[in-house]
Structure 1
Amino acid sequence: MIKKLSLIALTLVLTTSCVSKKIYTDLESKYATLRKENRKISDENADLKKELLLAQNRLSQLQRDYDDITTKRHQLQKDYDLTSTNLKNLQESYQALEKNSSSAIAENAKKNRELLAQLEAKEQALAAENSRLQKLKQDMESRSQRIAELESVIASKDAAMNKLKDAISKALTNFEGKGLTVEQRDGKVYVSMENKLLFQSGSWAVGANGKQAVKQLGSVLAENPDIAILIEGHTDSDPYNGTGQLSSNWDLSTKRATAIVEILKENSRINPENLTAAGRSEYAPIASNDTNEGKAKNRRIEVILTPKLDEISRLLND
């Protein structure tokens, strides 16, 4: 493979400047596409968190509505019981007055009819509130279940990413402290490899030690087919002064990211559709470029591992 790459590099050097410009244009186009895909993944993750927050707010509102309706139902029940008691008292009075006064009987009968009408209206109102309460309860239970499913899926994804981080740390334990770090944040796993582990200055050819580290990383990724793999190349702020195919730090960072992708592709169990290469040049530093130590940290490859969100999207669209 190295001999082939050397032959290709020699051929490209010998070709005209038009061919070099075409390669640059293609790389620039690929970079723009990969950057859009990266923004899309970030936007999807933000939308999912926003949807979870909206669902939780809606559940809180439903709980407040449920409590209000329960209070109204209790009040209606009290009114109903009081009306029933009054009706019973009037009926007893009616029986007592029936023997004494026809006019009193007529008046009592009128009040009875009024009370019966009131009682019927309250019964209807109580039935309507009970129906509304039941509907709200079902809606609240449905939303609670949906939130629980979303939280379960997110927790499962976080656990899987934590397990992946541990597996990567174990596989690369011989390289940690030699320009390689592994950490988990924001639901993703970040594997950072400084250029001193991978490349010579100004080159995108991966050295033997770096190739071993990338292959060991690939052996873990092959066991996790549901993980999206973004490889980002980064440089320091020093301008690129080399000659040949490259004209800037953009070119160099993209070439280095692509070189890592090519090594990972050698593992036939890694789906190429999960791989994305991107060059970030000097524009995503993690340290100050004012010192040599900071520049060394900025010259790096970052492998960003993100769980696929198909299951969460399905729950949100149901």
Structure 2
Amino acid sequence: MRKIILALSVVALLTTSCGTKKKIAALESKNKEIQDLLNTCTVKLNTCLTEKEAYANQIDFLKKNNSDLINNMGNMTTLSTKGAENIEKALESIKEKDLKITRMQDALTKKDSVTLALVTSLKGAVGISDPDIEVNVEKGVVFISISDKLLFKSGSYNVSDRAKEVLGKVAKVINSKPDFECMVEGHTDNVPFNGNGILIDNWDLSVKRSTAIIRVLTKDLKVNPAQLIAAGRSEFIPLVQNNTPENRATNRRTRIVILPKIDQFYDMIEKEMKKQ
């Protein structure tokens, strides 16, 4: 009986031992799977942590970049506004300059027209067609230049009869414009003047010829003396070189300089321009 019980006990023990080993093996296998899974999860976790750090750095960079962009946009807005204002000012300046240029061009065109009108008007009024009498305008001043061979004999300051005819026409212009001033300039050549007891040199001769013309204008032709100015320029404002008899004759002249104000004879100009 004892043998039977002992034998049964051994069998039971062996059976129990086998089951335990199987369970242990199964648990070890399960433990290995869990360990592998844990290792895999650990690797993935580390990867995620690394990526998280990288993303965090990127986020910081993007935030900073976004802030810089916002600031730059503000600066660009300011710059754009200033740029637009500068462009607008530049365009206004260009418009002003274009307007000034246009006005200058108009003024030059008008000046040319006025010059032509003045010369034409005075020539018409004086009735001058003689090549020894020249009428022109320079810088708003009218010049009537008369060769001395029409006015005086060589070395003389006595006015000829023909000169009085020409001066009578000039006097009509002066008398019609009482606000004008007229300067009568005497000019000589460079041949030294031989003193005759009255005149010393070409200065004296040029001034004496000027005063002789003025006496004719005032006494014979009734020009207001207050409008007239006597002047002598001697030989020092020649038109050409004094190197030939013809050139010296050209330089011997009397020039009547009419000094009007534009607003005082504008009507005359306007009428003449309308005729054209």
1:112 aligns to 2:66 (yes or no)? yes
1:267 corresponds to: 223
CA contact (8 A) 1:193 1:302 kept: yes
Aligned residues: 206
1:133 corresponds to: 87
2:194 corresponds to: 241
Unmatched 5+ residue regions in structure 2?
1-54, 264-276
CA contact (8 A) 1:161 1:307 kept: no
CA contact (8 A) 1:227 1:307 kept: yes
* Letter matched to residue 249 of structure 1: N
2:75 corresponds to: 121
Q: What value does the CA root-mean-square deviation take over the aligned residues?
A: 3.6
CA displacement at 1:164 relative to structure 2 = 1.4
Distance 2:83 2:73 in 1: 15
Distance 1:148 1:261, change over 3 A: farther
CA contact (8 A) 1:228 1:308 kept: no
List per-residue Cα deviations over 1:34-69 (Å, max 9, x = no partner). Answer: xxxxxxxxxxxxxxxxxxxxxxxxxxxxxxxxxxxx
| TM-score, with structure 1 as normaliser | 0.52
Distance 2:180 2:242 in 1: 32
- Of residues 118, 123, 137 in structure 2, which corresponds to 1:164? 118
In our comparison, the structure showing a higher alpha carbon Rg is: 2
Matches within 5 A, 1:158-307: 158-173=112-127, 176-177=130-131, 179-183=132-136, 189-221=142-174, 229-263=182-216, 266-268=222-224, 272=227, 275-305=228-258
- Comparing 137-146 with 294-303, greater Cα deviation is found at 137-146
Distance 1:145 1:230 in 2: 38
Distance 2:179 2:109 in 1: 16
CA displacement at 1:247 relative to structure 2 = 1.2
| TM-score, with structure 2 as normaliser | 0.59
Distance 1:292 1:215, change over 3 A: same
CA displacement at 1:221 relative to structure 2 = 4.9
* Letter matched to residue 215 of structure 1: G
SS in 1 for 2:238: coil
Distance 1:158 1:261 in 2: 31
CA displacement at 1:283 relative to structure 2 = 2.2
Unmatched 5+ residue regions in structure 1?
1-100, 311-318
SS in 2 for 1:114: helix
CA contact (8 A) 1:175 1:213 kept: no
Distance 2:98 2:226 in 1: 36
